[in-house]
Chain A
Amino acid sequence: MAGYNSVRRVLAAVIACAAFAPVVGAQHLLVPMDDRQTNHLKAYGLIFNALRDGHKSEWFLNYRGGSFLLPDIAEMRRRAALDGISFEALDNGRVTALRAEIAANNMDAVALERAPKIAIYTPPKAPPWDDAVTLALQYAGIEYTAIWDDEVIAGDLTKYDWLHLHHEDFTGQLNKLYLGFRDAPWFIEQRDRGLDAARRLGYANIPALKKAVAEKMRQYIEQGGFLFAMCGATETLGLAIAAHQTDIAGSFADGTPLDDNADQRLDWNRAFAFQNVHLEQNAFVNSMSDIDGHQVNVAGRRQPLGQFSLFSFSAKFDPVASMLVQNHRQVIPDFYGVTTSFTRQTLKPGVVVLASEEGAPWVKYIHGDYGKGSWTFLGGHDPEDPQHNIGAAPTDLSLHPGSLGYRLILNNVLFPAAKKKPLKT
Chain B
Amino acid sequence: MASAPRIGVFLLVVGVVAASPVRAQGVESAALSRALDLEGEGKCRDAIPFFRAALGTTSDPAGALYGLERCVSEAGSPDTLLTIIDSVLVRRPRDPVARTIQLRTLVNAHRDAAGRLAFEQWVTAVPGDAAPFREYARLLLDAGLTRTADTVLTFATQRLGSGRQVAAELAELKGALGMWEASATNWRQAMTYAPYLEASAVFVLGAAAGVARDTIRGVLAADPTDLPVRRILAGLEMRWSSAREAWNALKVVAPDDSVLDAWLEFAADAEERESWLVARDAYAGVLRHRRTAALLVRAATAALQGNEPASALAWSDSLATWRDTSQAATITLVRLRALGQLGRAAAADSLLEQRGSTLDPVTRGDAVRAVAWAWVRTGDVPRARATLARGGEESDERTTAWMALFEGDLKTARTGLRRLDEFSSEAVLALSVLSRTRGERSTGIGDAFLALARSDTVAAAAGFEMAAKDVADASPLLLAISARLFRATRDSARAETIWDGLIAAHPASPEAAEADLEWAKVLRQHGNGSAAIARLEHLILTYPQSALVPQARRELELAKGTIPP
Chain A positions within 8 Å of B, measured between CB atoms, are 78, 81-84, 127, 129, 138-139, 141, 179-181, 183-184, 186, 286, 297-300, 302, 387, 389-391, 393-398
Q: Is the CB of B541 within 8 A of A82?
A: yes
Q: Are A390 and B178 in contact (CB under 8 A)?
A: yes
B238 within 8 A of A: no
Q: Is the interface of B mostly helix, strand, loop or mixed?
A: helix
Is the pair B177, A81 in contact by a Cβ cutoff of 8 Å? Answer: no
Residues of chain B with a CB closer than 8 A to A299's CB = 112, 140, 145, 147-148
Cα–Cα distance between A317 and B562 once the two chains are bound (Å)? 37
Q: Are B562 and A81 in contact (CB-based, < 8 A)? A: no
Contact B554 A398 (CB under 8 A): yes
Whether the pair B207, A300 counts as a contact (CB closer than 8 A) is no
CB-CB under 8 A for A81 and B541, given A183-B182, A299-B112: yes
Known: A82-B540, A179-B150. A184 touches B144 (CB 8 A): no
Task: Give the complex CA separation of A83 and B556 in angstroms.
Answer: 9
B184-213 to A contact mask, C-beta < 8 Å, 1/0: 000000000000000000000001110000
Query: Chain B contacts of A397 at CB under 8 A?
Result: 563
Residues of B with C-beta under 8 A to A393: 209, 564
Tell yes or no: B146 within 8 A of A by CB: yes
Interface residue B8 (Cβ < 8 Å from any Cβ of A): no
- The total of chain B residues at the interface (CB under 8 A) is 31
Q: Which of A82, A129, A390 contacts B556 (CB 8 A)?
A: A82
Tell me the nearest residue of chain A to B541, going by C-beta. Answer: A81
How distant is the Cα of A78 from the Cα of B537 in the complex, in angstroms? Answer: 9
CA distance A375 to B92 in the complex (A): 60
Interface contact B177-A390, CB-CB below 8 Å:
yes
Contacts of A389 in B (CB 8 A): 144, 176
- Shortest B556–chain A CB gap in Å is 7
Contact A129 B150 (CB under 8 A): no
Cβ contacts under 8 Å, A141 to chain B: 560, 562
Chain B 514-565 interface residues, beta-carbon cutoff 8 Å to A: 537, 540-541, 544, 549, 553-554, 556-557, 560-564
Q: How far is the CB of B547 from chain A (nearest CB, A)?
A: 14
Q: How far is the CB of B6 from chain A (nearest CB, A)?
A: 67
Assess the A180–B564 pair: CB atoms within 8 A: no
Does B147 contact A180, Cβ atoms closer than 8 Å? yes
Whether B112 contacts A180 by the Cβ 8 Å rule is: no
Determine if B179 is an interface residue (Cβ-Cβ < 8 Å). yes
- Are A300 and B176 touching (Cβ within 8 A)? no
Name 28 interchain pairs, CB-CB below 8 A, sorted by A: A78-B541, A81-B541, A127-B564, A129-B564, A138-B561, A139-B557, A141-B560, A179-B147, A180-B146, A180-B177, A181-B177, A183-B182, A184-B177, A184-B178, A286-B147, A298-B147, A299-B112, A300-B113, A300-B148, A302-B145, A387-B144, A390-B177, A390-B178, A391-B207, A391-B208, A393-B564, A396-B563, A398-B563
Q: What is the CB-to-nearest-CB distance from A21 to chain B, in angstroms, rounded to a whole number?
A: 22
A390–B561 Cα gap in the complex (Å)?
A: 23
In the assembled complex, the Cα of A184 lies from the Cα of B150 at a distance in Å of: 14
Q: Which residue of B lies closest to A401 (CB)?
A: B553
Question: Measured between alpha carbons, how far is A418 from B560 in the docked complex, in Å?
Answer: 28
CA distance A82 to B537 in the complex (A): 6
In the bound complex, residues from chain A placing their C-beta under 8 Å from that of B544 are 81
**Supplied contacts A387-B144, A390-B177, A391-B209, 20 more A-B pairs, CB within 8 Å:** A78-B541, A81-B540, A82-B556, A84-B553, A127-B564, A129-B564, A141-B562, A180-B146, A181-B177, A183-B179, A184-B178, A186-B178, A299-B140, A299-B148, A300-B112, A300-B113, A300-B148, A391-B208, A393-B564, A396-B563
- Bound CA span A81–B112, Å: 53
B564 near A181 (CB under 8 angstroms)? no
In this complex, which of A127, A129, A184, A395 has the most chain B Cβ atoms within 10 angstroms of its Cβ?
Answer: A184
Contact digits for B150-166, partner A, Cβ 8 Å, 1 yes 0 no:
10000000000000000
Taking CB atoms, residues of chain B closer than 8 Å to A181 are 177-179
Using Cβ atoms and an 8 Å threshold, which residues of chain A touch B563?
138-139, 396-398
Instruction: Give CA–CA (A184, B180) in the complex, Å.
Output: 9
Please measure, in the bound complex, the distance between the C-alpha atom of A24 and the C-alpha atom of B561, giving whole angstroms. Answer: 35
What is the distance, in angstroms, from A276's C-beta to the closest C-beta of chain B?
27
Residue of A with least CB distance to B179: A184
Task: Give Cα A81–Cα B536 distance, bound, in whole angstroms.
Answer: 12
Q: Are A180 and B150 in contact, with the CB atoms below 8 A?
A: yes
Give the residues in chain B near A81, CB-CB below 8 Å.
540-541, 544
List the 10 closest pairs (A to B, CB-CB), nearest first: A391-B178, A299-B148, A300-B112, A394-B564, A299-B145, A129-B564, A139-B562, A398-B563, A396-B563, A138-B562
Task: Name the A residues within 8 Å of B537 (CB-CB).
Answer: 82
Residues of B within 8 A of A395 (CB): 564
Report yes or no: A396 in contact with B564, Cβ–Cβ below 8 A.
Answer: yes
| Complexed CA–CA distance, A393 and B564 (Å) | 9
Residues of B within 8 A of A300 (CB): 112-113, 148
Closest A residue by C-beta to B549: A84
A418–B531 Cα gap in the complex (Å)? Answer: 36
Give Cα A398–Cα B147 distance, bound, in whole angstroms.
33
Docked CA distance A397–B179 (Å) = 27
Which B residues are CB-close (under 8 A) to A394? 564
